[in-house]
Chain A
Amino acid sequence: MTYGTLTEAEARDLRLLAGIMIPASSAHGVPGANDELIFADILQSLERDTADARIALKHLAGLAGSAFADLVPERRTEVAMRFKQEGGAPLFSLNRVVLLCYYRDDRVMRALGQEPRSPFPKGHVVEQGDWSLLDPVKKRPPMWRRA
């Protein structure tokens, strides 16, 4: 299945928007969503959401009055915040792709204390826990109705 690709202008707007959604943080030691590697992942991962992304970016350009990327930074932030309120389902789809690429980046995962790896084959350890917590429930009489 083919989903199409963004135009250069759309991609430029999206990259700046992604950087507003999730900016880099030196305090947390993480890149922003406009980071080169992360943004390349975003562009490759739009897939089923490409149509929604284009609708959202058209809406954004409309709010900007021209190319979003050509606005001065203060105005960009202002337009982005209005877009956040008005963007609806297409923006949610676009935001989802940004998040799913950002939160699988090795640097971001390490900063969250997560191992950047697939779950299989190593898996995880869940503590068995103290089953004596169930003792009060075990003392209860049968709760089910005979029928």
Chain B
Amino acid sequence: MHGKVDVLIIGSGASGAAVAWSLADTKMRILCLEQGDWVKPTDYPTNGRNWEARLFGDFAINPNRRARETDYPINNGTSPIQVVNFNGVGGSTIMYTAHYPRLHPSDFRVKTLDGVAADWPVDYATLEPFFAENDRMTGVAGLEGDPAYPHHVLPMPPLPLGKTGKCFGEAMNRLGWHWWPSDSAIATTEYDGRAPCINLGHCTPGCAQGAKASTDVTYWPHALRAGVELRTRARVREVTVGPDGLASGAIYYDADGQEHFQPAEMVIVACNGIGTPRLLLNSVSGRFPNGIANSSGLVGRNLMFHPFAHTYGYVDEPIDGNIGAQLSLWSQEFYETDRARGFVRGYTLQLHRGAGTIVDAIANTARGFLPWGEAHHDVYRTLFNRKLGLSAICEDLPEEHNRVTLDPVLKDSNGIPAPRIDYTLSDNTKKMISHGVARSKDILEAAGAKNIGGEAPMLNAGWHLMGTARMGTDPERSVVNEWGRSHDVKNLFVVDGSIWVTSGGVNPTSTIQALALYIADSIKQRLANATLFD
């Protein structure tokens, strides 16, 4: 039995770190439980010669492949998209690309503007100050003036254009299409004690330099200095409920498998769009037989990924290859709805650099380009460091049949039921994917690329996990209210991507964190006027 805390946060990733830091100034006793470990900068693959090999081992993006003690298995069923994540301090920000767009104003008004899905109970203007605060805490690089967005100020200059960027820029200008240097959560100058990017290569498997803004190097140092406690190797099994119907704390297992009870005055769940519904559904009691906070039956439903349509081609002259951040440019040419395209909503195009020697070889083998025998060497040399890639990151509209449930058989190493995914692509998404592939081919052809191919949707690309505990004002149609509090349990909050109403067509981390800061601010305001649990 541990001493009671005022605030118990479960999960230390993008949203958990932000909410912990924001609440720290209340001087409440705040504890965060994290199932994984701290990752030391010296642990990251780019410290060693085997850095690419580790992308297929202990730094694989798919937890089923990575299979660390700190991971939990996921039954992806027949889903055409598999869940990828990381479990540790910083959560999946440890292994994200740091591509950092915000949602657009129109993303919060999907029903009003396009007649589909539902509007959010918050809007861009409400979140704008929290976007700005999050950009400052995170350290975001980019270029002001993007015509695809409302004006916003960024703390650092953009990542370099490079040879690959020049190729893309010229092609996009030939077509007359929008492109812009991405908002990137990567330090391009000294920032808040972090060293600037030195182009170690792809940012996905963590940043040995510390330039990439994973929350272990952004929010957490500040939160810890402000008195927040972070307890690692603490895997939560369930949120408990007291006789008053309020959350009373959580039961977790430590690294030795010992069970603990951590009492709390309020509980904030920040375990991502898969981990959160898993935890809520596992939190069964007499009062909540179908899982805590689930009177609507919507916990786990409306799972949204961003289906990625990846298209590639090869130019004649060597370009950047794996040198530099993988993503530093985007196009929003096809973001806003144009019904003439045959679908509603839209997508961002991410413009990619290439890969290292090994990943290039493996990818080109998978594509059937790389032969066995004498010809292997010649063909390899015509492809290496010549790849241009694009990914259409497609908006995925919510559908209740796309869902997370508890697997009846599969369990993690502590015996906690694992999540099971049931997911299919909608017709709207399929049409959007086809459009994204066709426009990507146009760009590649404009760049003079050959051997054009692709994968759509990408199987191992379930990065963005949203919608499984959606927010709203109607308790029958949502799990949490407009400031993240459970409709059913007045001291239980959800702050991660689960609460998204619709997915937009951008990488979600920036908006997840802005929303977490907004919810933390809402909590603080209601603490101040004693209405938090009303």
Co-complex (A, B) = yes
Interface residues of A (CB under 8 A from B): 1, 20-23, 25, 27-28, 30, 45, 47-48, 77, 80-81, 84, 92, 95-96, 99-104, 108-109, 112, 114, 116-131, 133-134, 136-138, 140-147
Taking CB atoms, residues of chain B closer than 8 Å to A103 are: 52, 357-358, 360-361
Query: What is the minimal beta-carbon distance from B232 to any residue of chain A, in angstroms?
Result: 21
Taking CB atoms, residues of chain A closer than 8 Å to B123 are: 147
Contact B161 A119 (CB under 8 A): no
15 contacts between A and B (CB under 8 A): A21-B372, A22-B376, A99-B358, A100-B52, A100-B53, A119-B200, A121-B209, A123-B198, A126-B162, A140-B178, A141-B147, A144-B332, A145-B105, A145-B113, A147-B109
Give complex CA distance A45, B162 in Å: 34
Query: What is the minimal beta-carbon distance from A73 to any residue of chain B, in angstroms?
Result: 12
Taking CB atoms, residues of chain B closer than 8 Å to A134 are: 143, 169, 179-181
Contact A99 B365 (CB under 8 A): yes
Taking CB atoms, residues of chain A closer than 8 Å to B47 are: 118, 120
Taking CB atoms, residues of chain B closer than 8 Å to A108 are: 357
Contact A120 B208 (CB under 8 A): yes
Interface of B is mostly: loop
Taking CB atoms, residues of chain B closer than 8 Å to A92 are: 365-366
Q: Which residue of B lies closest to A83 (CB)?
A: B372
Interface residues of B (CB under 8 A from A): 44, 46-53, 56-57, 65, 67, 104-106, 108-109, 112-113, 123-124, 143, 145, 147-150, 159-163, 165-166, 169-170, 172-173, 176, 178-181, 198-201, 208-209, 320, 323-324, 332, 335-336, 357-358, 360-362, 365-366, 372-374, 376-377, 381, 384
Taking CB atoms, residues of chain B closer than 8 Å to A143 are: 147-148, 178, 332, 335-336
Query: What is the minimal beta-carbon distance from A19 to any residue of chain B, in angstroms?
Result: 10
Name B170's contact: one of A21, A133, A145 (CB within 8 Å). Answer: A133
Contact A124 B149 (CB under 8 A): no
Contact B173 A96 (CB under 8 A): no
Give complex CA distance A77, B371 in Å: 13
Query: What is the minimal beta-carbon distance from A14 to any residue of chain B, in angstroms?
Result: 14
Name A23's contact: one of B49, B208, B374 (CB within 8 Å). Answer: B374
Name A133's contact: one of B48, B161, B366 (CB within 8 Å). Answer: B161
Name A147's contact: one of B65, B106, B172, B200 (CB within 8 Å). Answer: B106
Taking CB atoms, residues of chain A closer than 8 Å to B173 are: 133, 136-137
